[in-house]
Amino acid sequence: MLPCPFELMKLPMKVAAAAIGTPSLFPCCNFVHLPASTSLSLSPRLPASIFSPLLIPISGRKKLFLRAENLDCESVEQMDLKKEFPELKKDLYPSIEPYCTGFLKVSDLHTIYWEQSGNPNGRPVVFFHGGPGGGTSPNNRRFFDPVFYRIILFDQRGAGKSKPHACLEENTTWDLVGDIEKLREHLKIPEWQVFGGSWGSTLALAYSISHPEKVTGIILRGIFLLRKKEIDWFYEGGAAAIYPDVWEPFRDLIPEEERKCFVKAYHKRLNSDTLETQYAAARAWTKWEMMTSHLLPNEENIKRGDDDDFSLAFARIENHYFINKGFFSSDSFLLDNVEKIKHIKTIIVQVNSAFISALALHCRLKVQDSPNT
């Protein structure tokens, strides 16, 4: 397969951290590996061209288990993964605490949580979490150099610490885009860099398309364009071919006569009048995604599926957006409008996921006359 070109500017994270373990909607064994030794300028405005070869160290979890057996290990957990697969080594920045937190009332109904960390006088960067409904975590701060960046995190409507919890009313992509602008104005930030992965990449594109004059740069990982074929592949049986054992409990919660559309079947249960029915559906939905969104199982994330508060917000909000097609006017809305952000320096980091969406976005963003694309 031919190498994939990606335009680079100064990353707000260490490259090794960006290239490994980032969740996205389309998990598979192939990923682009960006070497940790890649040299990047300190200036976010200096573009460079890098060609990253497709690296296939393992072919799915089954082969990983075989590799463990060959090393006389009883399980994958006993393997020294950093030694066996050095490309899996995570290299995030050290943990930090926010220097400022708060809540911003964005409508009569919704109040969102926000925080700032890093350098108060640094270059502003705003982090868009996944899901939708996933909320932020302290680890999200670690993508960014705290000396260089003023790091802004916030929980989207209904997620994390935002209130009301798991609320679907007045909760659309365009409500979130409006909230981001209100937060920027509240923090008195003229313009900022945006960063998002998976659903965060969707929201980052929607926001940047709506307010390109406020965006200094875009960093995207695990591209998700919220198209029907992406959702169908993940929730209607495509991903089941890769993770058949994980698919079974997700599938089995739904009676056979309702399995023509799992998104609709889960929507019915996640909005049931019975709270226990909502919880059961939320746990199954969340565990399916948490167990398939990483190259290697992430036990901490998988356990979140048993947290009823987290899983209810995650599953209800995510399903709400998917069944409403992201509240976009067309299936290809984001791709059709990238012309508005072609002038903005953009990085795409695609990891353990299919490249179809990332490549489609890259081709639309590509400036034909530029020697760096």
pLDDT digits (tens, 9 = 90+) for 143-188: 999 999 999 999 999 999 999 999 999 999 999 999 999 999 999 9
Mean pLDDT taken over the chain: 80
In angstroms, the CA 126 to CA 156 distance is 12
In angstroms, the CA 196 to CA 189 distance is 19
Which range has the worst mean pLDDT, 72-86, 161-175, 237-251, 268-282?
A: 72-86
User: Which of 20-29, 81-90, 282-291 has the highest mean predicted lDDT (pLDDT)?
Assistant: 282-291
pLDDT over 80 (residue 295): no
For residue 23, the model assigns a pLDDT of 33
Read off the pLDDT band of 363 (50, 70, 90).
very high
Read off the pLDDT band of 8 (50, 70, 90).
very low
Question: What distances in angstroms separate CA 68 from CA 31, 32, 74, 90, 196, one per listed residue?
Answer: 21, 23, 7, 20, 33
Structure tokens at 53: 């070869």
For residue 70, the model assigns a pLDDT of 44
Strand order in the sheet with 346-349: 100-105, 111-118, 149-154, 123-128, 192-198, 215-223, 346-349
In angstroms, the CA 263 to CA 289 distance is 13
For residue 122, the model assigns a pLDDT of 98
Which range has the worst mean pLDDT, 59-63, 136-140, 226-230?
A: 59-63
For residue 366, the model assigns a pLDDT of 83
